Structure 1
Amino acid sequence: MPRLSPRLIRHAHNANPLLKLLLPVCRDLESARNELRWLQDHAVGLAARSRNAPQTWQTRLQVMVRQRATGKPLQYILGTEYFGDLEIVCRPGVLIPRQDTAASVAHLAHLLQSNDCLPNRLRVLDLCTGSGCIPLLLEHLFSQSGDPPDLQLLGVDVSKRCLDLAEENKARCQARHAEFAQADVLATGDVSPQGQPLPALLKSRASPNWDILISNPPYISSHDFRKTTARSVRKFEPKLALVPPAGVSEIPDDGDLFYPRLLDVADHVHSKVVLFEVADLSQALRVASMAKKKGSWDGVEIWKDEPGAKDDSMVQLEQVVSGLKVLGRGNGRSVVCWRDQGARWLGRT
């Protein structure tokens, strides 16, 4: 990371001493100004609503700027982050929602809504749900369509802290079709030290079948977590949501640990479409290869950060990498598989 010039630091200090504190984490003056404005608005709002601790907004702002200067994510300080059009509550211990995840979910919803062949009831299972942002965004997007199907959305996570926050976000978003439950996705037997195994949870549901399976699992390898992951992510976001647990698999790249299990679950619940988030194109190609080797999918493709991006002539961007169709603009972001009716739902027939 390039060093900041003394001239830039002096300029920030002369404009506002708090800007100088934000500059090392923001890296440029414009970003620092934006963050300072957001933090000030938040401090003013907190001071106006506070009755028991009458701190001035100036005092609150100084505290928040110092927190941000340590690298603490802005979303944990402000308490929310946008995920698509939804404002999702964020708290330490739960992964911060990312807009590239929202872009994949929104593109999936767009494809599903573009076809009139969806079943009257659509059941969606989201594994490693975290803040609950994926089911909540899906419900929001479908609620805006003219004749949405009867949605059943189930978000599953091993962390009770995540599930508590997901329930809070459900109330905040006034969602009616999303449910959340605790289970260990990796567990295959009857017992798990992490709580209820996923098979037991699925067995307890009214129907064993889930039309669509979505997951943004921990996918960062232990090596990449140490060497390439941003310091603020390593220091402040939960490792449980980023790196698969060690010592439970012989897979060469431990960042891939969840994907064979997720593909097995998709077969078990007879999913017609799956959407798995990945770290980059290299991992996307490995996961896509896993799916193709299963032999149970009619089609597999990779989506980039902006899967619906088009060129100047309004044709969707598309390339072929290692025999796989790769759609959109940006880095490899998701692996999508379909079979049976899922091909018609996605317009892949």
Structure 2
Amino acid sequence: MPRLSPGLLRYAHISNPLLRLLLPVCRDVESARNELRWLQDHAQRLAPPSHSSQTWQTRLQVMVRQRATGKPLQYILGTEYFGDLEIVCRPGVLIPRQDTAASVAHLAQILQSSDSLPSRLRVLDLCTGTGCIPLLLDHLLSHSRDPPELQLLGVDVSQKCVDLAEENKARCQARYTEFARADVIAGGSSQAPSLLALLQDRASPQWDVLTSNPPYISSHAFVHTTARSVRKFEPKLALVPPPAGVSEIPADGDLFYPKLLDVADHVQTQVALFEVADLSQALRVASLVRDKGSWEGVEIWRDEPGAKDDSFAHVAQTMGDLRILGRGNGRSVVCWRDQGATWLGRT
């Protein structure tokens, strides 16, 4: 990362000493000014009306110093937008990302335009974190022109995540979403029940759509390429799969995907959407889908899946007829079979 010039730092300090503190983490003056404005608004909202301006100014200074250490802005402000929803964020739970929201919204848009959806659509979201994915699907699908009867279930191994997801459910006034604690990885070290035991207890044999933003960062990438603020402040449990001992998977960041595909088979999923880190991982996961032999089709969505397709000859050569949709980095792997092909318009 390039160093900031002394002249730029002096300019920021003269403008506002708090701006100078934010500049190293924001990297440019405009971004630092925006963050300072958001933090000031937040400090003023939190200050009791009867208190003097010194109260919110003191709070603002504390927030700016927290941000200067690299603490994510979302943890300081307490929320982050995910599509149209404002999602509560807290330390210990992964912060929702806008590129995830873009994939989820694109999936919802395709499903909304389908004339062949079942009268009852069941969506299972694994590694749900804040609950943002099922809550956005609930919001978008329930407000479509002719919405199906919806049932959405978000599952996470962390009770802290489940509790926060429940809070977000109330905040978003979601009517069709529930949350539960369970371990997606069979034989995991957590005290949570296994996912299949949870689904059996709930008499839930079939889930039409399966979504997941699982831990997908390899242990090597976490140390060497993951942003320092992410390593320091966001939960490693939600970023890096747990150690699995000897594995046939070449990258330990891929650990969850074979299990997710097994779950999808078990619950007879028709459409699955898995978030990935980048195009290289997307290609590996797409290969896993094809090797599984139980899916009719698979494609990769980029950060902006609704944008015009990009052409990458080397991908076509290595993956045959695999389609890569949109603009940006590889973000999601989408696969389908049976009725799902019709729902997605892939017949």
Q: State whether TM-score is above 0.5.
A: yes
Corresponding position of 1:170: 169
Match of residue 259, structure 1, among 257, 260, 274: 257
2:37 pairs with 1:40 = no
Which residue is 1:195 aligned to?
192
Deviation string 1:175-200 (CA, Å, 9 cap, x unpaired) is 11000000000016xx8643101110
Aligned residues: 341
Q: Write the distance in 2 (CA, Å) between the matches of 1:326 and 1:206.
A: 37
CA shift at 1:216, angstroms?
A: 0.2
How much has 1:146 moved relative to structure 2?
1.4
Measure the CA separation in 2 of the matches of 1:42 and 1:261: 42
Q: What are the superposed Cα offsets for residues 21-57 of structure 1, whole Å, 9 maximum, x if unpaired? A: 0000000000000000000000000004698x99711
Is 1:304 matched with 2:302?
yes
Q: Structure 2 CA distance, aligned partners of 1:247 and 1:54? A: 54
CA separation in 2, counterparts of 1:258 and 1:127?
Answer: 10
Which secondary structure does the structure 1 equivalent of 2:47 belong to? helix
Letter in 2 for 1:258: F
How has the CA–CA distance of structure 1 residues 233 and 329 changed in structure 2, closer, same or farther, with 3 Å as cutoff? Answer: same
1:166-225 per-residue CA deviation (whole Å, 9 max, x = no partner) reads: 00000000011000000000016xx86431011100111233100000000000000000
Name 1:219's counterpart in structure 2: 216
Query: Which amino acid in 1 is paired with 2:120?
Result: R
Contact 1:263 1:291 in 2 (8 A): yes
Instruction: Give the match for residue 275 of structure 2.
Output: 277
Equivalent residue in structure 2 for 1:247, among 244, 249, 256: 244
The runs of 4+ residues in structure 1 deviating greater than 6 Å are none
Distance 1:160 1:4, change over 3 A: same
Please say if residues 303 and 326 of structure 1, whose CA atoms lie closer than 8 Å, have aligned partners that are also in contact.
Answer: yes
SS of 1:169's equivalent?
helix
**Equivalent in 311, 326, 329 of residue 327 of structure 2:** 329
Distance (whole Å) between structure 2 residues aligned to residue 128 and residue 210 of structure 1: 16
The residue matched to 2:96 in structure 1 has which SS? coil
Structure 1 counterpart of 2:198, which letter? L
After superposition, residues 66-215 of structure 1 pair within 5 angstroms as 66-187=65-186, 193-215=190-212
Rounded Cα–Cα distance in structure 2 between residues aligned with 1:226 and 1:307: 29
Q: 1:56 is paired with a residue of what secondary structure?
A: helix
Structure 2 unaligned regions, length at least 5: none
TM-score by length of 2: 0.95
Query: Could you tell me which residue of structure 2 aligns to residue 341 of structure 1?
Result: 339
Instruction: State how far apart, in whole Å, the 2-side matches of 1:207 and 1:93 are.
Output: 29
- SS of 1:131's equivalent? coil
Deviation by residue 1:67-123 (Cα, 9 ceiling, x = unmatched) = 000000000000000000100000000000000000000000001011110000000
> Cα offset for 1:339?
0.1
Provide the residue aligned with 1:313 in structure 2. Answer: none
> 2:5, 2:178 → 1: CA distance?
51
- Kept in 1, the 8 Å contact 2:125–2:211? The answer is yes
CA–CA distance in structure 1, aligned partners of residues 189 and 63 of structure 2: 40
What is the match of residue 287 of structure 2? 289
Q: Does structure 1 residue 64 correspond to structure 2 residue 63?
A: yes
Structure 1 letter corresponding to 2:38? W
Residue 129 of structure 2 contacts residue 156 of structure 2 at CA under 8 Å; is this kept in 1? Answer: yes
Distance 2:101 2:148 in 1: 21
Distance in 2 (CA, whole Å) between partners of 1:167 and 1:218 is: 21
Q: Work out whether residues 142 and 148 of structure 2, in 8 Å CA contact, stay in contact via their aligned partners in 1.
A: no
Task: Write the distance in 2 (CA, Å) between the matches of 1:169 and 1:105.
Answer: 17
TM-score (norm 1): 0.95
Separation (CA, whole Å) in 2 of partners of 1:35 and 1:107: 29
Any idea what SS the aligned residue of 2:103 has? helix
User: What secondary structure does 1:300 align onto?
Assistant: strand
